[in-house]
Amino acid sequence: MTDTPFTLTLPFPKVIPSKVEAHIKRPLSSLRGMFADEEAYERMLGQEDTLVYEVFEIKRNEEVGELALGVSVVHPGVVGAEFFMTKGHFHSVLETAEVYYCLQGEGFMVMETPEGDTSVAALRPGTVLYVPPRWAHRSVCTSRQGDLVTLFVYPGNAGHDYGTIEKQGFRKLVIDGGNGIAFVDNPRWKKEAGS
């Protein structure tokens, strides 16, 4: 890992970083239990293990003072009425923030705190989103044609707590409500015991 200044480019139209040190692929099978309509999920998975999203990371030491960065690409699609989305997570170090810059596509960032505050921010090309410390975050692609592409930067020591979200879910879901995009309460949301 170079410790000298470096540049990278995000060449359009694909906006995949010119320098990628980790390429994470998240197919449907890696998101079991995350979509509300489990029947639709099983039906889709039975047909094809569709690629839902990818993350292109520029690796840095996971230590205080460093910044991790990369590009997240959520592909268009739905499971039942629910739009394709990332797993979502709290940072293991809860008191760490994150900045997202939307490069392409359209969607939303669904966010919540352990205390139950919720927020949904629209993402369009040029949108800069500041996710404060303590807010879990999940990217949702609501376009039916194009990818939702965001550049993200967060503290190198933040870490990822997926477990809480895997157990509780997010309080809000983003669905295609028939006459447009709707934000609905997650009927399966439940507080993790003792958390």
Distance CA 43, CA 60 (A): 39
Minimal distance, residue 137 CB to ligand 6PG, in Å = 6
Q: Which does 93 bind (CB under 5 to 8 A by kind): Ni ion, ligand 6PG, none?
A: none
Query: What single-letter DSSP state applies at residue 30?
Result: G
**Which residue of 60, 75, 87, 171 would you call a contact of ligand 6PG, by CB under 6 A?**
87
Query: What single-letter DSSP state applies at residue 84?
Result: P
What does the radius of gyration of the chain's CA atoms come to, in whole angstroms? 16
For 121, list phi and psi in degrees, rounded to 5: -115, 135
Under rule CB under 6 A, residue 89 binds ligand 6PG: yes
CB atoms within 10 A of CB 184: 13
x-marked contacts with Ni ion along 39-78 as a string, rule CB under 5 A? ----------------------------------------
Q: Which does 108 bind (CB under 5 to 8 A by kind): ligand 6PG, Ni ion, none?
A: none
Under rule CB under 6 A, residue 99 binds ligand 6PG: no
Span interacting with Ni ion, options 55-63, 90-98, 107-115, 180-188, rule CB under 5 A: 90-98
For 101, list phi and psi in degrees, rounded to 5: -125, 120
Distance CA 42, CA 31 (A): 11
Under rule CB under 6 A, residue 72 binds ligand 6PG: yes
For Ni ion, the binding residues (CB under 5 A) are 98
